[in-house]
Amino acid sequence: MKAVFIVYNQTNTERVDYLFDKLAIRGYTTWEQVNGRGSVNGDPRMGTHTWPEMNSAAITIIEDERVDELLKYIRKLDERNPEAGVRAFVWNIEQMV
């Protein structure tokens, strides 16, 4: 099993929800109002007067063989609107209860 953690501009919320539905990913958790800044060239998303935009985040735990397909769609979403920004991070899940 793998954990896929996705951070995205809130403008992409409906698109990320759509991806989960399209790929039949039923289990996930989302966070709204996530602050941060991209590591390469992303603008800060702080919810302040100076940096008013905000991010959201989602995590899902899926089978290893489903990760590449999800990442393919995340990559397409990022290429569609690179200014909005979306990143995904994958790590192993050792155990679950």
The fraction of the chain above a pLDDT of 90, given in percent, is: 79
Tokens of 42: 């992303």
Tell me the pLDDT band of 77, cut-offs 50, 70 and 90: very high
55-62, strands of its sheet edge to edge = 29-34, 55-62, 2-9, 86-92
Report the 10 Å Cβ neighbour count for 7. Answer: 20
Percentage of the chain beyond pLDDT 70 is 100
Q: Which helix (H) or strand (E) holds 22?
A: helix 13-22
Q: Per-residue pLDDT averaged across 19-38, rounded?
A: 95
pLDDT for res 2 = 98
Q: Which domains does the chain have, with CATH numbers?
A: 2-92 (3.30.70.120)
This prediction has a pTM of 0.92
Q: In this predicted model, what pLDDT tens digit does every residue of 35-44 receive, in sequence order? A: 998 877 778 8
Q: Provide mean pLDDT across the span 13-20.
A: 96
